[in-house]
């Protein structure tokens, strides 16, 4: 076996594989010197250490002797320091970690070849080649056509430094300079030393003149900016240079007998301390696969199958953390404790609930500052939109049911929406209700273009107001545009009808998919007709008793099609520049606002990104939201995508909430966050951090119509933010369950 790269991941893989089978002939090739390494300290989690202890107690014991441990995180912002405890960190010097692994490899008989380039013919001369050659992996580039790497460069510059005293916590310090915001990340790694990372956006780095300074001058400048945090002590370097973080993703991790490990396969931003952790865990999984499987092909497939979901989850968390620091300047005006809570929960790995377990006093202080009455989770605080006060922050998101007949909602809709209203949410939204027969997505879509439809909706709103007092019900108005005249979702989502088609219209004559019907580009007269259809539907909605109206300008439907440059190719006054693309949606909004009762809120749902090159960006979304807010929108419901069929969304838990957060901070308009928000802990975390004002959940409410009631029961909350219907009160306590045993470990090495 040949291992290319003498970093922690490669060395640990070598030691582990040799220990498991001493007959293996293992060589590590490292082109640098034994102690030639980038950076200073390495942080390892208890989970990773547990895996090391189980697999090689000798390495674990050696690490234990050198670890520096601490529990606190300090956040210093505008001279105010807030401390959160109970986190549990362990770190040691990177050079010391390498020394421990060198010693262990030599004890076991691994050949270590330093100052030596790995031969190009290793795959031909060895049974297995492990490429642990880092972010600049030569192996990965050699086989780029197979691994298909994607490397994303981000917006901040950073430099890895150290100082000669130990911080007593993990320290985040914010400096607001004349050039822009800079931040310090610091933590101890030895009894007399700490790692210090200085980071700032690229434009701040240039404005501050760092691009014109040499290494020594940069270090001196950083020391002056953060002199108080550094206690006046100097900073030192170790191959330190300003760099930009790059996220590495590969479509495949193995090719024949060559396999990628650690940074060669994947990277995750240093702000969640995951690089060495991931590499060590890769080594454990690779060793396990080789032990358990009968062939190399099966072993490498098992290794990738086990590690890829874990790495993807970590990269999502790291991306959220990275982007939080990139946009740090938008958060600076938050109250100090909320700012600290926001920072601590930025990656979504730390949440309100587990932070409360780690440090209840800190979390309760944040809740008090936010305005939570004693014993009240953030999700059960009220929120006011215009003349409507919602008793809690939970919204049942609009979900198309495709179950109407001739656009008329029936018993199904009464039961569906009524059950979710009884389930405790502050606001229940209808599906997208179409403003015309031609504006339906499918033959099963509900409408508000006839009096009969309005009467049917009145039956539903009357039920909600009578049987679920305190719950508001809102209607979402929309027009399908180029995504109309398609099959019911379960018969083929977005597929054209085989018979009974109707003509469709859009901003431009572009089909949604190659086999979709091609829409007609709307004329000026048709735009006027559609605007009047929206206003007529809004009048019916008001008479039907809806408490809130939302204009659907997302997901590639008609109004969304005007907003995106990918779907609007018009050359008249309604296409071209962002302002022209906004013109028709704003005309419709103004017309609806004019007929919608003044005391009732009007919101707008947008797609904050198209997830496609050349489409709407997060920056564009801020301007779109700002325009609607200037015209009187009471809140922006921030979704993403579904605008073009070839989109590439970055799915994951709460994956759309950063877009809502950004809009909220940049515009000051209230926002509704959506997108894979699945737990009450997520809702509490997002609300308390100030990333959103309301949380809309869809699938969780399909799984459990009483999701909000059950969230209250599970948190022991009985206040005014939620009310159990009298017939349901006997179910307000969680049922007892039988014993469940934890799964046994998957592998014993």
CB 190 within 8 A of CB 167: no
Answer yes or no: are the C-beta atoms of 383 and 371 closer than 8 Å: no
**Active-site annotation holds for 557:** yes
User: Can you tell me the distance from the alpha carbon of 409 to that of 427, in angstroms, rounded to the nearest whole number?
Assistant: 19
Here the tokens at position 708 are 């909000």
CA atoms within 13 A on the CB side of 499: 0
Structure tokens at 156: 């901040």
Question: By the 8 A CB rule, do 481 and 512 touch?
Answer: no
Name all contacts of 56-62 with Cβ < 8 Å and 24+ positions apart: 56/15, 56/16, 56/19, 56/104, 58/104, 58/107, 59/12, 59/15, 59/100, 59/101, 59/104, 62/100, 62/103, 62/104
CB 264 within 8 A of CB 288: no
Answer whether 233's CB lies under 8 Å from 193's CB: no
How is residue 470 written in tokens?
């305190």
Beta-strand relationship, 383-385 and 602-607: unpaired
What secondary structure does DSSP assign to 668-710, as a single string?
---EEE-SS--SHHHHHHHHHTTS-SEEEESHHHHH-TTHHHH
Three-class SS state of 263:
helix
Q: Return the bridge partners of 174, or none.
A: 183
For residues 495 and 574, what is the distance between their CA atoms, to the nearest angstrom? 28
Question: Which helix (H) or strand (E) segment is 74 a member of?
Answer: strand 73-77
Gyration radius of the chain over CA positions? 29
Q: What are phi and psi of 409, to 5 degrees?
A: -75, 140
SS3 label, residue 579: helix
Q: Largest alpha-carbon pair distance within the chain?
A: 85
Tell me the three state secondary structure of residue 224. helix
DSSP state letter for 157: E
* Residue from 158, 402, 449, 557 carrying the catalytic annotation: 557
- Asked whether the beta carbons of 63 and 100 are under 8 A apart, the reply is yes
| CA 540 to chain CA centroid, nearest Å | 38
DSSP string, 483-541: G-SB--HHHHTTPBPSSS----EESSS--SSTTSPPPEEPPHHHHHHHHHHHHHHHHHH
Contacting residues for 705 by C-beta, under 8 A, at least 6 apart: 419, 420, 422, 423
Q: Which residues are catalytic?
A: 557
């Amino acid at each position: 076996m040949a291992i290319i790269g003498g970093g922690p991941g490669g060395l640990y893989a070598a030691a582990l594989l040799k220990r498991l089978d001493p007959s293996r002939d293992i060589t590590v090739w490292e082109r640098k010197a034994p102690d030639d390494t980038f950076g200073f300290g390495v942080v390892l989690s208890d989970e990773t250490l547990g895996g090391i202890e189980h697999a090689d107690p000798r390495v674990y014991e050696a690490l234990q002797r050198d670890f520096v441990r601490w529990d606190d995180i300090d956040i210093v912002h505008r001279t105010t320091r807030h401390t959160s405890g109970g986190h549990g960190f362990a770190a040691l010097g990177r050079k010391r970690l390498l020394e421990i692994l060198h010693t262990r490899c030599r004890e076991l008989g691994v050949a270590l070849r330093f100052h030596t380039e790995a031969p190009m013919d290793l795959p031909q001369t060895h049974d297995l080649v492990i490429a642990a050659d880092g972010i600049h992996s030569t192996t990965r580039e050699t086989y780029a056509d197979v691994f298909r790497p994607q490397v994303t460069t981000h917006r901040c510059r950073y430099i890895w430094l150290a100082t000669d005293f130990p911080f007593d916590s993990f320290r985040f310090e914010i400096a607001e300079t004349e050039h822009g915001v800079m931040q310090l990340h610091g933590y101890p790694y030895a009894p007399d030393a700490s790692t210090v990372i200085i980071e700032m956006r690229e434009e701040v780095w240039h404005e501050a003149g760092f691009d014109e300074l040499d290494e020594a001058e940069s270090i001196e400048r950083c020391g002056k900016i953060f002199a108080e945090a550094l206690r006046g002590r100097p900073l030192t370097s170790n191959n330190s240079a300003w760099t930009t973080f790059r996220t590495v993703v590969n479509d495949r991790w193995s090719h024949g007998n060559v396999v990628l490990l650690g940074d060669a396969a994947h990277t995750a931003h240093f702000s969640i301390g995951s690089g060495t952790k991931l590499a060590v865990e890769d080594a454990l999984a690779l060793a396990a696969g080789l032990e358990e499987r009968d062939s190399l092909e099966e072993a490498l497939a098992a290794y990738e199958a086990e590690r890829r979901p874990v790495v993807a989850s970590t990269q999502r968390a790291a991306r959220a953390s990275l982007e939080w620091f990139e946009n740090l300047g938008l958060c600076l005006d938050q109250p100090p404790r909320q700012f600290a809570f926001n920072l601590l929960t930025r990656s979504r790995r730390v949440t309100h609930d587990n932070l409360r377990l780690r440090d209840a006093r800190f979390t309760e202080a944040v809740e008090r500052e936010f305005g939570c009455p004693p014993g009240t989770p953030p999700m059960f605080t009220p929120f006011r939109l215009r003349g409507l006060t919602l008793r809690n922050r939970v919204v049942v998101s609009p979900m198309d049911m495709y179950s109407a007949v001739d656009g008329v909602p029936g018993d199904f809709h009464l039961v569906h929406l009524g059950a979710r209203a009884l389930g405790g949410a502050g606001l229940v939204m209808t599906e997208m209700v179409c403003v015309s027969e031609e504006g339906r997505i499918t033959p099963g879509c509900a409408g508000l273009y006839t009096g009969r439809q309005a009467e049917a909706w009145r039956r539903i709103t009357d039920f909600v107001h009578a049987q679920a007092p305190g719950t508001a019900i809102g209607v979402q108005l929309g027009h399908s545009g180029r995504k109309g005249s398609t099959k019911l979702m379960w018969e083929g989502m977005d597929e054209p009808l085989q018979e009974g088609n109707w003509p469709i219209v859009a901003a431009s004559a572009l089909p949604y998919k190659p086999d979709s019907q091609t829409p007609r580009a709307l004329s000026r007269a048709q735009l006027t007709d559609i605007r009047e259809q929206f206003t007529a539907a809004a009048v019916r909605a008001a008479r039907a008793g809806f408490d809130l109206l939302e204009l659907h300008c997302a997901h590639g439907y008609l109004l969304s099609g005007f907003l995106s440059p990918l779907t609007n190719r018009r050359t008249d006054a309604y296409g071209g520049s962002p302002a022209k693309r906004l013109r028709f949606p704003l005309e419709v909004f103004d017309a609806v606002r004019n007929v919608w009762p003044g005391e009732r809120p009007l919101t707008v749902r947008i797609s904050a990104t198209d997830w496609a090159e050349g489409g709407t960006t997060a920056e564009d979304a801020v301007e779109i939201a700002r325009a609607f807010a200037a015209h009187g929108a009471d809140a922006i419901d921030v979704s993403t995508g579904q605008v073009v069929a070839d989109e590439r969304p970055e799915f994951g838990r709460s994956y759309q909430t950063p877009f809502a957060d950004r809009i909220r901070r940049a515009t000051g308009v209230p926002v509704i966050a959506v997108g894979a928000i699945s737990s009450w802990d997520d809702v509490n975390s997002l609300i308390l951090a100030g990333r959103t004002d309301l949380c809309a959940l869809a699938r969780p409410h399909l799984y459990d119509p009483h999701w909000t009631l059950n969230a209250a029961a599970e948190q022991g909350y009985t206040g005014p933010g939620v009310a159990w219907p009298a017939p349901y009160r006997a179910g307000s306590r969680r049922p007892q369950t039988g014993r469940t045993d934890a799964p046994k470990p998957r592998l014993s090495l």
